[in-house]
Structure formats: C-alpha cells, structure tokens
Amino acid sequence: MKFISVFFFFFFLTLLTRAQVKIGDNPGSINSNSMLEIESGSKGFLGPRVAINDITNASPLSAPVPEGMLVYSDGGAVADGFYYWDGSQWVKLITGADKPQIYSKTTSSTLTKSETFVVASNDITVTLPAVTATDDGIKITIKNIGSHMDLVVVKGNSGALIDGLDSCNMNRFISRTYVAYNGNWIVQGREPHLEDILDVSPDDSWQSLNEVFEYLEEHMSVPTIVRLSGSDYEVSNTITIDLPYPVTIQGASYGSAAIIPAASLSGKPMFRCVSETYFKMLDFVGNPALAGYGTNVGEDAIRFVGPDTYNEIKDCVFDGFYNTILDSTNAELWIFECDFYDATNNGLLIHGNVPGVKIRISETDFMNCTRGINLDKGSAAAFHAGSIVFECVNATDTALVYHPAGFTFSTIIIKNTAWNHLGYYIEGFDFSRTDGRDADAEIANNLGIEDKTPHAKINVVNNGTTTPITNASTWYKCVWTNTSSISCKWKVENNKATYLPTNKRDAYVIITGNLTSSSSNRVVTIGLVKNGNPSVLFGETNLRITTAAQPFQFSTVIYLEDISKADYFELYCSVNSSGLNVTFQDVQWYMNTQ
C-alpha cells in the first residue's frame, strides 16, 4: 500500500511539471497557447521589484542575466518602471505615462529631468537640468516657436557643456534634442554650429530682409553671414546697415536670389551701408522688377556712406538703377566679377568729401550705362581698375570719366580694359599739362587708346639761332626754338625736357639732326646733360666739321636709368676751339619710357 502511494505521487508530479498552469479564476479553462495564465477580475500581477541604479549594469541581479529577464525598478537612480534585460543593458518598457508632456517656456528657467519636451519663445535662457553619469541617455527636446526676433539660449547646468560649448542658440523654427552623457550634454545627430550664418527663405527662421536685419541689430555681435536662397527679396524701405561687426549678404548660389524694390521704395536706394558690408552672388533688379524705378534721383542699389570702412561686391549682377553704386565717403570698396546694366546716371559714382577713398575693380562689365565709372569728387584717392569691358549704346555715353576740378588722387591705374568704340572711352585726363596734374595716372594696355606712358617728341626745323662757343672744350647748352613738340607726362620747353611722374622709370632717347659751324676743321661734341650738370653726361658723340657753314648730320641713342620726378635733360655741345658759333638747324628728339 505504501508502494502504491509513492507511485501515484511521482506520476502526478511528472504530469504537473509538463502541463500548462493557470492561476486564479476558472482554473479549468486555460488558453492552449499559454504555459502560464493568470486570470482575476479583482487582483493584479506583482512581479519582482528591484532598484536599478545603472542601466548598463545587471545589478542588483547576479550576472549573467539571460535576455528577456523582466523586473520592476522601484527607488533606483533610473525612472521607476518595468525594465527588461536585452543582453547588455536594462531597457524601459514604454507605457502611456511615458508619452512626452509638452512644457511651454516664455521666461528664463531651469528644466527638470521630467520636462523632456519644451516649446520656447521670447528672448530667454533655458538651462538644462544638472546630470551625472548615471543620467546618461536622458533626452530633452527644445523647439523655438517664437517670432523672427526671438532668441532662445540653451545652457548646461553648473558648468555642464553642450557639445563642448557653454551654450547654443536657437532661432525660430529650430528644434534640437539634448542627450545627457557623462555629466554633460550632446546634441542628438550631427549638427554643425553655424550660429553666425543666418538663412533667409520662406522656410527658414527669417523670411525677409527686414526680419533678418531686425534680428542682427538685436542679437548678433560677431561677423555674420546672411544667406538668401530660392526667392525674390523685396525691399520696401531703405535698409541701413550700421553694425559693430562686418556682415555678408550673399546668395546660396549664383542666380538663386534676387533683391527687388517694392513700390514704396520709389525715390530711395535699396541699401545704405554705414558699417563694413559684403555683397556676394546676388542679383539686384531695379527697373525690370518695378517699372520706372531707377530713372529718378536716389533710386540706387547700394550707397556706401560710412567713413574708414572696408567693403566688397563680388559675383553680383545689377540691372536698372540711377546710380548703381555710390561711394560718398572714403570707404574702401572692392568690386570683383560683377555686371552693371542700364544705369540711368552712373554705374559707379565716386562722390565724397572725406579724403582717402580706395576703389579696386576687376573682371567687371558695364553695359548700356550713361557713364560706366564716374570719378566725380574726392581727394587723395586710390583708384585701380583692370580687366573691365565697357559697352556703350548711345553716342553720348562715356565709359569712364574723371573730373579733375573735384577729384584728386594719389594713384590711378587703369589697365587691360576694352571698349566698343561708341560714345567716349576714358575722359578727363590731360597728360600734356606742364604742372603734372595727371602724371601719376597709369593708363596702359587699354583697347582703343594709346598707352599713356611718359613720352615726348621735340621737332626743330630751320633754326637760325646760334650757340656761342666762348671757350674751347667747355660745355654750352644748345640754343634753339622748338618748331613743334608732343609731350605726355614730360614738360617740354625748347631744349629742355622735365620728367613729371612720381614713379621712377628708364627711358630710351634718340636725338638726330644737323648742325653747322662758323669755322672749318673743328670737332663738335654733343651730349645729353642731366639737371644742368655737364659732369652727368649721356650719349657723348663727336662730329668732325670740315667745312664752315655746311650742315653735318649727327645722331645719338641713349638709355637712361631711374629717372625721378623733376629730373630734366638738355642737349649740350663743346668744341675743341674757341670763338665760334654752332647752329643746330634741325633736331628730332624722341623720348620713351618703360
């Protein structure tokens, strides 16, 4: 009997270990797919409770922990809730309570760890909660939902950094997720810090030029790039740029952004630059965009009015303005690779009262401009222009004009320009003046006019004035009256040529002609004397006169080095005997510099 009882005990125990189990109500009814079923209308399931302090550590369970182990963490360093072990860390089961609650911030405040989704507006500072390494993985998302003027600054708590920085700025529409890591914060995803580049487009934080410049004046303090893309940008009132730092206004790519006038801009310029400004890869469209704009005084594209500033315009196209660019002070302006079309008055007008304006232009075209470049007013100016094409349309158009009555310069260089031979080319200069007013203007390699390098020609025909030779072997200045002369940057006064430019040059000199002597069998020596000192003599040539009153030809070729401003040269002669006269009947004197 005892044997039978033991037999049935082990028999039913075997069945029990291999069968499905149901606990609770209706024990006789169990789902065929379950190994364990719990059914109750009034009681719950209470699983094992532990305290997890580090999601990467299996503790308080003993390693190794199999994947799928389920516990409820209560009172640990992590948020309370159900966690399962995925083989390397504890993963929290998301419940309805885990759905993010949206927190609104309109004033500066410090967040808690539970404020995981924040919408912010106004000019405020949002401080992230203090975290340690045990908080790794906590995520807080912040979005700026304010206006174009609102700047939300996000900072770490107690010196914690965000991607290695003290803070980061968030403008309108910007959203970032901050992840706790090793006591600091990192921004989720790879995001370059371009807080000094402000994008303007219908889909960006700033949607108009007015919005972005309001923001610049309020919030920025470092050199900033304003980047326009994919739209026409209307200017309703003149935009004045007066900032304590440089600003660059540029298109995202060539031809991607056009700046156009609104009807309210009539009679006014688009931009007035008081501080350092750069314009790049932009189209400025006046008259085609607004009928009649650009035909009236004041309807200019850009005015530079700030003294002692540096400015650039590069890869821009201008079409249909009164004065396309106006520099009314001593602002330094560089213009590269631009196109100027249909300027009613001037493509570029220099008209300022402050001395020292500096203008550099290269790789630029002026098409159908009444005046391409107008050097109208200024003093001690430095103007350099090269690789420019001028295309005049009307017979009254002028490519480049210089007004010496109001414009003085330290240097002018105009080289490698071209012109379509309609209207006027380079006007206003007078290189034959004896006062040297324009002698320092370098004008060369321009298609359509000769190079304005220093050169001169003296022509003497049938001169009857004699040069008395009082003493033998003594140098005397040759005497004659010029029949005609041509001079460019030389002052010519009969037998005297004075160099006028400031820059030193070398010169080739050729002097030919014929002379007579009042006595036979004499040796006449001629030479070019510098600055009235016969000891500085060039091109000395001897001529043996066999017959008195008979013309004898002479010729000398001279190379002069390092001619300086105010150096002058005269032809002298000497005879091996005294008491006679030498007459220079005909003289051809050529001087050219390099």
Q: How much is the pLDDT for 190? A: 63
For residue range 95-151, what is the model confidence (pLDDT) as tens digits?
Answer: 655 566 889 999 999 999 888 999 999 999 999 999 999 999 999 999 998 898 899
Which strand (E) or helix (H) includes residue 365?
Answer: strand 358-367
Mean pLDDT, all residues of the chain: 92
Residues β-bridged to residue 318: 284, 340
Q: How much is the pLDDT for 386? A: 97
CA distance 263 to 261: 7
Number of CB atoms found within 10 A of residue 412's CB: 20
Question: Residue 129 gets which letter from DSSP?
Answer: P
CA distance 350 to 359: 9
Q: How much is the pLDDT for 288? A: 86
Q: Residues 206, 212: contact at Cβ < 8 Å?
A: yes
Question: Strand pairing of 124-127 and 109-110?
Answer: parallel
Take residue 117 and report the two structure tokens written for it: 């989704």
Q: How much is the pLDDT for 12? A: 46
pTM, rounded to two decimals: 0.76
CA distance 209 to 96: 45
Number of CB atoms found within 10 A of residue 207's CB: 17
Q: Residues 572, 475: contact at Cβ < 8 Å?
A: yes
Which strand (E) or helix (H) includes residue 217?
Answer: helix 209-219
Q: Is the pLDDT assigned to residue 9 strictly greater than 50?
A: no
For residue range 233-284, what is the model confidence (pLDDT) as tens digits?
Answer: 999 999 999 999 999 999 999 888 999 999 999 999 999 999 999 999 999 9
**Range in 9-13, 34-38, 534-538, 568-572 with the lowest mean pLDDT:** 9-13
**Range in 227-231, 417-421, 476-480, 540-544 with the lowest mean pLDDT:** 227-231
Question: Strand pairing of 339-341 and 317-319?
Answer: parallel
Q: How much is the pLDDT for 10? A: 46
Q: Which of 173, 252, 242, 170 is nearest to 213 (CA)?
A: 242
Q: SS3 for 151?
A: coil
Q: Is the pLDDT assigned to residue 32 strictly greater than 90?
A: no
Across 437-466, average pLDDT: 96
Residues β-bridged to residue 377: 351
For residue range 286-295, what is the model confidence (pLDDT) as tens digits?
Answer: 998 899 999 9
Q: How much is the pLDDT for 582? A: 98
What percent of the chain shows pLDDT beyond 70? 95
For residue range 499-554, what is the model confidence (pLDDT) as tens digits?
Answer: 999 999 999 999 999 999 999 999 999 999 999 999 999 999 999 999 999 999 99
Q: Is the pLDDT assigned to residue 25 strictly greater than 60?
A: yes
The set of residues, in sequence order, having a beta carbon less than 8 Å from that of 27 and lying 6+ positions away, is none
Across 79-85, average pLDDT: 87
For residue range 207-236, what is the model confidence (pLDDT) as tens digits?
Answer: 999 999 999 999 989 999 999 987 899 999
Across 366-371, average pLDDT: 98
CA distance 447 to 305: 34
Q: Residues 520, 547: contact at Cβ < 8 Å?
A: yes
Q: How far is CA 568 from the centre of its chain?
A: 46
The model's confidence at residue 357, banded by pLDDT at 50, 70 and 90, is very high
For residue range 172-184, what is the model confidence (pLDDT) as tens digits?
Answer: 888 899 999 999 9
CA torsion sign for 44, 49, 54, 57 is: negative
Whole-number Cα distances in Å, 266 to 263, 299, 318: 6, 7, 17
Q: Residues 415, 386: contact at Cβ < 8 Å?
A: yes
Take residue 172 and report the two structure tokens written for it: 């309108």
CA distance 469 to 257: 80
Q: How much is the pLDDT for 6? A: 45
- Which of 357-370 are b and which e, b meaning 16 or more Cβ less than 10 Å from the residue's Cβ? bbbbbbebbbbbbb
The set of residues, in sequence order, having a beta carbon less than 8 Å from that of 486 and lying 6+ positions away, is 432, 455, 456, 457
Sketch out the chain's domains with CATH numbers.
21-95 (no CATH), 100-187 (2.60.120), 455-593 (2.60.120.40)
Across 567-590, average pLDDT: 98
